[in-house]
Structure 1
Amino acid sequence: MNTKKHPDDTTAAAVPQLDGQLCFALYSTSLAMSKIYRKLLRGLGLTYSQYLVMMVLWEKNELTVSEVGERLFLDSATLTPLLKRMEQAELLTRTRAASDERQVIITLTPQGDALRHEAAKLPPAILQATKCTLDEVVGMKQQLDGLRAGLMASAN
C-alpha cells in the first residue's frame, strides 16, 4: 500500500488514480473505437458523426432535425453544421416542412441511400477488431445502454 502523504494530508491512496476511473476507461475505449471507424469509414467518404446520421436515416428516412438529434443525443446547434456538410456532399437533403416551417425534414438522396450497402461491411470488421465474441459485444452494449440510462437519469 502506498502511504506517501499528499500535500493536503490525505493518503495517496485517496487520490483518484487514472487507471481506476470508469470515465477514463470509457473515454480511451471510445478513442480506440473511433480510430478503427475512421479507418473503415475513409472508404465511404464519411466521418464517424456522418455515419451515425446515416444509420439513423437508413433505419427511418425523412426525419426532422430534432428527431435525428434525439436519436443521437445531439442538439440542433451541433447537428445543423454537420447536416449542411452532408447536404453539400449530396448525401441528404434538408427541406422545411410544409405544415410547420420551423421543422426541417432530412431525407436521404439516392447517393446517400446507396452507401447503405457498403456500410453493411463495417459491423463484421468492427467485431473482428474488438477481438471479442458476438455474445460478449452484445453483453457489453447492454451494460453500456444501462449505464447511459442511469447517468442520464442522474443528470436530470
Structure 2
Amino acid sequence: MAESGTQRLIPQLLLDNQLCFPLYACSRLITRLYQPILEPLGLTYPQYIVMMILWQQSPCAVSAIGERALLASNTLTPLLKRLETQGLVTRSRASQDERVVTIALTDAGRALQQSCAAVPGQVFARTGFAEDKARELKRLLDELIPLLNQKMG
C-alpha cells in the first residue's frame, strides 16, 4: 500500500476511487453550463426543473413537484414564491383540503416553454459529449436514482 508521510493510504478512501465525487462534480459543472443560458430567461436551474414539471402537468400539487424534483419543501416553497412573483405560476389551496397547495402555470409560464425549447440542445452542445454515451449515462442514472431514493425513504 502506498504511503504519504506517516499516513497509510486507504484505497476505499481515495477520491479517485469514489462514485459520489464524479457525480457531484458533474452535477455542479452541468448546472454551471445551464446558468448563462437560463439567466436571460429569468430562471435558475432549480426553477427550470420545476417549470419542466409544470409544462408536463399543470396544475400540480406542491408535494408532487417536490417528489418529482427531489426537492424538500424548505427549498421548494421560496422557489415557487419567486416563480409566482415573476408571474409564471399561481399558487392556490385545494378546496377539498386546505393543506394541499396547488401550482398552476400562467399564460406567461406556458409561453416560456417555447423560449426554453432550445435550452437542452444548447447545453448538450456545450458538453462535447457523444450522444450515445449521454443516453447510456442517463439510462444508468435512471436505474441508480430510484435505488438511492428508496434507501432514503
Structure 2 length-normalised TM: 0.91
Q: Which ranges in structure 1 are unaligned for 5 or more consecutive residues?
A: none
Matches of 1:67 and 1:13, distance apart in 2:
42
Shift of 1:150: 2.2
> CA distance change for structure 1 residues 66 and 114 in 2, over 3 Å: closer, same or farther?
same
8 Å Cα contact 1:63/1:105 also seen in 2: yes
Tell me the CA shift for residue 145 of structure 1: 1.4
Cα deviation, 1:42-97, whole Å, max 9, x if unaligned, reads 11110001001100000111001111111111222221111111111111000111
User: Over aligned residues, Cα RMSD in angstroms?
Assistant: 1.7
Q: Which runs of no fewer than 5 residues in structure 2 stay unpaired?
A: none
- 8 A Cα contact 2:93 2:99, kept in partner: yes
| Structure index of larger Rg | 1
Separation (CA, whole Å) in 2 of partners of 1:152 and 1:92: 28
**1:140 and 2:141 correspond:** no
Q: In percent, how many aligned pairs have the same letter?
A: 42
SS in structure 2 opposite 1:94?
Answer: strand
> Does 1:32 find its partner at 2:29?
yes
Give, as a single letter, the amino acid of the residue that structure 2 aligns with 1:64. Answer: A
Cα 1:15–1:6 change in 2 (3 A) is farther
On the 8 A contact 1:90/1:112 being kept in 2, the answer is yes
Q: Compute the displacement of 1:108 (Å).
A: 0.6
Tell me which residue corresponds to 1:106.
103
SS at match of 1:61: coil
Q: Which amino acid aligns with 1:150?
A: L
Query: Is 1:44–2:37 an aligned residue pair?
Result: no
Matched with 1:2 is: 2
> What TM-score does the superposition give when structure 1 sets the normalisation length?
0.89
Give the alignment of 1:45-84 within 5 angstroms: 45-84=42-81
Q: Secondary structure at the match of 1:132?
A: coil
- Structure with more contact order per residue of length (Cα contacts < 8 Å, sep ≥ 6): 2
Match of 1:149, SS?
A: helix
Q: Which amino acid aligns with 2:16?
A: D
| AA in 2 matched with 1:32 | L
- Indicate if the aligned counterparts of 1:5 and 1:12 stay in contact, CA closer than 8 A: no
SS in 2 for 1:90: coil
